[in-house]
């Protein structure tokens, strides 16, 4: 049986809201206060007539009612400090006949148990914020100085002194050298010794960022620039590093299409966000690094010549470990001390036989390879001294392989069947062909000594695996 109910009179509704023990506020779609009940007026010590029509954020501390009135999204059990007291706020959109017209919100004092729970929640958020802030600041600072660059050999000291001398400049620096030589450590040290050391140091690995994302990562993007873009847009690394240093590692792997945009940023000292129209001035120093031959890449058209000269104002070539073998013992001992902390060890030493093996090895992976060998060794070490039997097999046999190569070479040279050298003019080949022929023979000889193992042969020749496979393919060696 239906009963015809009269709608509640407006005065009744106001009185119901007013006698509620929950402080209640109503705002219109513009976030202007439409009504405050007595409980809320008492908390805020305001007069209702003075509050009505005012922006809610000016009447209620830390209010978000104007946001809910705009978005139409409710917010429940939100922590809201008011007048030095923690309160729990619930905010609901007001939708009448399908139209968003405003919002209504209430606050309450939590009971002791709830208050403890919310305080713990707040404390957890604060700790997370501190952790994030600490990591962010740490990530934006350079971690190494010139004192951390290990080596006393003349060739290394010369490079180190030159790098320290030019660190005070604002000119671009190009660090070249094989993989694993410590180019990134040099970049850190140069920034740390520069006048920009109080500002951010931001490393960017150009090879690890997809080509279609590199521009937005470096220069940022505007709101709605592409699908999935962060609301409000995002600053790029160049903007974040303003007045500091951007370290572009693996610059040789930067897509050709991106090189012209980087060149413009370096020349004009301004960038444009993806999807944006305004130019943003940036003041950064560029340190770039590569293990590739940029001059050759310029010749074959895979790297812009104008960008190469813009980056190569100061060139620092970090020497490979095989060219400063007098540093091996010193570096080894430093790395052992570093790794001992990781393995909770103390007093680890290294035998003279192991040092001799290290001197015989060509170290194609440089200091990084040496550190990896030592870490692997400490994993299997059952005493305080690293012995030859603890080393990887390819290091253990390094001297033996070298002696076998020398022996085979001498045997071939002294063979009675060996044909006399042709001294006629017609026997002279162009240098390029002579070098290619010598390279092919060296590869075949190394493969023969290594019983066909290409990885071992590559290590014997002191070249990387990828480079070795490319050379085998070029010379038709299976």
* pLDDT tens track, the chain, 478 positions: 455 667 778 788 878 887 777 899 999 999 999 999 988 998 888 999 999 999 999 999 889 999 999 999 999 888 788 877 778 889 999 999 889 999 999 998 765 555 566 566 656 665 665 555 455 445 566 678 999 898 889 999 999 999 999 999 899 999 999 988 999 999 999 999 999 988 999 999 988 888 778 888 899 888 766 655 667 778 889 999 999 999 999 999 998 889 999 999 999 899 888 888 888 899 999 999 999 999 999 998 999 999 999 999 999 999 999 999 999 999 999 999 989 888 888 889 999 999 999 998 889 889 999 999 999 999 888 889 999 888 888 888 755 545 554 554 455 555 555 444 455 555 556 666 777 778 888 888 788 777 788 887 887 787 777 788 888 888 888 7
Third-level CATH fold of 146-225+232-317: Rossmann fold (3.40.50)
pLDDT at res. 421:
46
Dihedral sign, Cα of residue 434, residue 435, residue 438, residue 444: negative
* Domain spans in the chain, listed from the N-terminal domain onward: 11-108, 146-225+232-317, 321-396, 404-413+429-474
- Strands in 314-317's sheet, in edge-to-edge order, are 201-205, 245-249, 285-290, 173-176, 314-317
Alpha-carbon distance of 118 to 183, in angstroms, equals 49
Structural fold of domain 321-396: Helicase, Ruva Protein; domain 3 (1.10.8)
CB-based burial label for 187 (10 Å; 0-12, 13-18, 19+): buried
Assessment of whether the complete model's pTM goes beyond 0.75: no
Please name the residues in contact with 108: beta carbons below 8 A apart, sequence gap of 6 or more: 22, 23, 87, 88
Q: Which residue has the tokens 């040092």?
A: 355
As a three-state string, the secondary structure of the chain is CCCCCCCCCHHHHHHHHHHCCCCEEEEECCCEEEEECHHHHHHHCCCHHHHCCCEHHHHCCCCCHHHHHHHCCCEEEEEEEECCEEEEEEEEEEEECCEEEEEEEEEECCCHHHHHHHHHHHHHHHHHHHHHHHHHHHHCCCCCCHHHCCCCCHHHHHHHHHHHHHCCCCCCEEEECCCCCCHHHHHHHHHHCCCCCCCCEEEEECCCCCHHHHHHHHHEECCCCCCCCCCCCEECHHHHCCCCEEEEECHHHCCHHHHHHHHHHHHHCEEECECCCCEEECCCEEEEEECCCHHHHHHCCCCCHHHHHHHCCEEEECCCHHHCHHHHHHHHHHHHHHHHHHHCCCCCEECHHHHHHHHHCCCCCHHHHHHHHHHHHHHHCCCCEECHHHCCHHHHCHHHHHHHHHHHHHHHHCCCCCCCCCCCHHHCCCHHHHHHHHHHHHHHHHHHHCCCCHHHHHHHHCCCHHHHHHHHHHCCCC
How many Å apart are CA 475 and CA 323, to the nearest integer? 28
pLDDT the model gives residue 419:
47
CA of 275: how far to CAs of 219, 332, 424, in Å?
A: 11, 50, 68
Residues 185 and 170: their CA atoms lie apart, in Å, by: 18
Dist CA 76 CA 261 (whole Å): 47
* Secondary-structure class of domain 11-108 per CATH: alpha beta
Rounded-to-integer distance, Cα 316 and Cα 173, Å: 7
CATH of 404-413+429-474, one of 1.10.3470, 1.10.10, 2.30.30, 1.10.3720: 1.10.10
Query: What contacts 111, CB < 8 A, 6 or more positions away?
Result: none
């Amino acid at each position: 049986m239906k009963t015809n109910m009269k709608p509640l009179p407006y005065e009744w509704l106001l009185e119901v809201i007013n006698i509620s023990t929950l402080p209640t506020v109503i705002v219109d779609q513009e976030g202007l206060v439409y009504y405050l009940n007595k409980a809320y007026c008492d908390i805020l010590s305001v007069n209702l007539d003075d509050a009505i029509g005012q922006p809610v954020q000016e009447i209620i501390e830390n209010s978000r009612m104007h946001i809910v009135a705009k978005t139409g999204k409710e917010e429940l059990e939100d922590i809201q400090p008011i007048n030095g007291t923690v309160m729990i706020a619930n905010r609901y959109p007001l939708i009448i006949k399908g139209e968003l017209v405003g919002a209504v919100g209430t606050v309450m004092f939590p009971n002791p148990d709830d208050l403890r729970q919310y305080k713990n929640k707040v404390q957890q958020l604060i700790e997370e914020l501190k952790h994030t802030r600490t990591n962010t600041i740490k990530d934006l600072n350079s971690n190494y100085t010139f004192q951390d660059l290990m080596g006393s050999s003349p060739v290394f000291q010369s490079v180190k002194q030159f790098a320290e001398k030019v660190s005070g400049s604002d000119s671009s620096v190009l660090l070249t050298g094989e993989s694993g030589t410590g180019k990134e450590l040099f970049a850190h040290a140069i920034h740390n010794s520069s006048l920009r050391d109080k500002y951010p140091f931001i490393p960017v690995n150009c090879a690890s960022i997809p080509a279609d994302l590199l521009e937005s990562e470096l220069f940022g993007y505007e709101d709605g620039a592409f699908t999935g873009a962060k609301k409000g847009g995002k600053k790029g690394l160049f903007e974040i590093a303003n007045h500091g240093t951007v370290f572009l590692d693996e610059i040789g792997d930067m897509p050709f299409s991106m090189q012209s945009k980087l060149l413009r940023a370096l020349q004009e000292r301004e960038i444009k966000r993806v999807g944006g129209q305004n130019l943003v001035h940036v003041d950064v120093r560029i340190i770039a690094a590569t293990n590739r031959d940029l001059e050759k890449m310029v010749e074959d058209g895979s790297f812009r010549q104008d960008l190469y000269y813009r980056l190569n104002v100061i060139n620092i070539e970090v020497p490979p470990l095989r060219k400063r073998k007098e540093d091996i013992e010193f570096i080894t001992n430093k790395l052992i001390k570093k790794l001992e902390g990781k393995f909770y060890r103390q007093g680890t030493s290294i035998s003279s036989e192991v040092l001799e093996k290290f001197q015989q090895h060509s170290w194609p992976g440089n200091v990084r390879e040496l550190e990896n060998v030592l870490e692997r060794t400490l994993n299997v070490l059952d005493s305080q001294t690293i012995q030859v039997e603890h080393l990887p097999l390819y290091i253990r046999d390094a001297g033996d392989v070298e002696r076998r190569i020398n022996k085979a070479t001498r045997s071939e040279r002294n063979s009675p069947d060996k044909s006399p050298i042709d001294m006629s003019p017609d026997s002279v080949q162009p240098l390029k062909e002579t070098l290619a022929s010598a390279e092919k023979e060296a590869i075949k000889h190394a493969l023969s000594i290594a019983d066909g193992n290409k990885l071992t042969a590559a290590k014997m020749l002191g070249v990387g695996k990828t480079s070795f496979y490319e050379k085998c393919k070029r010379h038709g060696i299976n």
